[in-house]
């Protein structure tokens, strides 16, 4: 008979499988659990390492607090490694390709693989969201240093919703193998559906609070939380409270899967 397991003689499980295959596919890291690390090159800075390949990410995210005189004059980044920095608060001088720029909160810089990023804090304390990843090149296309401020970016309705907005921080060009975006949900707004996709995200919550669905688990989230969403992590959220919920996040793009 088709519903009898031939090996044991017991009936097959027809309504649910008892198999368990569990892989960590997301992480929520609130600020109270963060630990401080020392990383060569960062002087007078506290660094917290967030998502890494150990968590399943193809990138590394960091939170950096730079104190008075804090700097990285050795250069962040390496051959083959692209880097990105976003100023959460404070003011820093950044330098890439011998050009310097002063960035305050909302300012950001992208450096292509092989271009080092130099950082110098200009005030008593600044906080940065940092990212690095091995660049995936394609023939005939390049990236370049991008320096900008989120106030300069167009804010467009996200997927035809009038209460969710997106800003693209990097050019939508084939040379770029990832982008950074800021999504903003007005109170009560939500994703239009539960996303299921191969791309990964590292997200830092800039404002507000909400409920985030991660692999079918609803979790309360708020400003200063960090979320890693691995490939295929189910994901959606809605904003609660009086303020918009917004977060900056990375997303790999423009490449086929090997």
Among 43, 168, 195, 215, binds ligand UGY (CB under 6 A): 195
CB nearer to Mn ion: give 121 or 167.
167
Which among ligand UGY, Mn ion, none contacts residue 95 (Cβ within 5 to 8 A by kind)?
Answer: none
Is there binding between residue 183 and ligand UGY (CB under 6 A)? yes
Residue 167 touches which of ligand UGY, Mn ion, none (Cβ within 5-8 Å per kind): none
Q: Which does 71 bind (CB under 5 to 8 A by kind): ligand UGY, Mn ion, none?
A: none
Q: Does 209 bind Mn ion (CB under 5 A)?
A: no
Residue 47 interacts with which of ligand UGY, Mn ion, none, CB < 5 to 8 Å by class: none
Q: Is 201 in the site for ligand UGY (CB under 6 A)?
A: yes
Report the residue closest to ligand UGY, judged by CB.
235
* DSSP β-bridge partners for residue 112: none
Nearest residue to Mn ion, scored by beta-carbon proximity: 195
Query: In the bound complex, what is the minimum distance in angstroms from residue 225's beta carbon to Mn ion?
Result: 16
Between 141 and 218, name the residue whose CB sits nearer to Mn ion. 218
Burial (CB count <10 Å: 0-12, 13-18, 19+), residue 41? middle
User: In sequence order, what are the beta bridge partners of 251?
Assistant: 179
Q: Which two tokens stand for residue 99?
A: 């050009």
Question: Which partner in Mn ion, ligand UGY, none is near 183 (CB below 5 to 8 A by kind)?
Answer: ligand UGY
* Half-sphere exposure (Cβ direction) of 57: Cα atoms closer than 13 Å: 22
Residues with Cβ within 8 Å of 12's Cβ and at least 6 positions away in sequence, in order, are 3, 4, 5
- For the purposes of burial, counting CB atoms within 10 Å of the CB of 257, is it exposed (0-12), middle (13-18) or buried (19 or more)? exposed
Backbone angles phi, psi at 189, to 5 degrees: -75, 155
Interaction between residue 94 and ligand UGY (CB under 6 A): no
Q: If contact means CB under 5 to 8 A according to the sort of partner, which of ligand UGY, Mn ion, none does residue 149 touch?
A: none
For residue 195, state whether it binds Mn ion (rule: CB under 5 A): yes
- Residue whose CB is less far from Mn ion, 127 or 191: 191
Q: Which member of 93, 251, 254, 255 binds ligand UGY (CB under 6 A)? A: 251
231-234: long-range pairs with CB below 8 Å, 24+: 231/25, 231/56, 231/197, 231/198, 231/199, 231/200, 232/25, 232/196, 232/197, 232/198, 233/25, 233/26, 234/194, 234/195, 234/196
Q: How far is the CB of 161 from Mn ion (least distance, A)?
A: 15
Write out the E strands in the chain: 26-29, 43-49, 59-76, 81-89, 91-96, 99-104, 107-111, 117-121, 125-134, 146-149, 156-157, 164-168, 178-185, 201-207, 209-214, 217-222, 226-229, 235-240, 245-252
With CB under 5 A, what is the number of residues at the site for Mn ion?
1
> Contact between 61 and ligand UGY (CB under 6 A)?
no
Number of chain residues interacting with ligand UGY (CB under 6 A): 6
Residues near Mn ion (CB under 5 A):
195
Residues near ligand UGY (CB under 6 A):
183, 195, 201, 229, 235, 251
């Amino acid at each position: 008979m088709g519903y009898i397991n031939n090996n044991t003689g017991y009936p097959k499980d027809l309504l649910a499988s008892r198999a368990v295959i569990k892989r960590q596919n997301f992480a929520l890291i609130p600020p109270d659990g963060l630990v401080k690390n020392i990383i060569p090159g960062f002087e007078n800075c506290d660094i917290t390492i967030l998502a890494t390949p150990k968590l399943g990410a193809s990138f590394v995210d960091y939170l950096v607090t730079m104190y008075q005189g804090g700097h990285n004059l050795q250069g962040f980044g390496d051959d083959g490694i692209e880097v990105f920095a976003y100023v959460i608060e404070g003011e820093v001088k950044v330098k890439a390709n011998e050009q310097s720029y002063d960035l305050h909160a909302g300012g950001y810089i992208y450096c292509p693989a092989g271009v080092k990023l130099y950082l110098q804090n200009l005030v008593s304390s600044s906080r940065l969201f940092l990212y690095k990843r091995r660049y995936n090149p394609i023939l005939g296309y390049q990236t370049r240093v991008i320096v900008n401020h989120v106030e300069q970016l167009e804010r467009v309705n996200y997927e035809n919703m009038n209460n969710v907005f997106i800003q693209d921080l990097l050019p939508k060009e084939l040379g770029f193998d990832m982008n950074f975006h800021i999504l903003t949900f007005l109170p009560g707004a939500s994703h239009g559906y539960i996303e299921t996709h191969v791309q990964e995200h590292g997200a830092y919550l800039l404002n507000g609070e909400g409920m985030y669905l991660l692999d079918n688990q609803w979790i309360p989230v708020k400003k200063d939380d960090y979320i890693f969403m691995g490939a295929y992590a189910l994901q959606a959220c809605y904003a609660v409270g009086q303020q918009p919920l917004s977060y900056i996040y990375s997303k790999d793009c423009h490449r086929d899967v090997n």
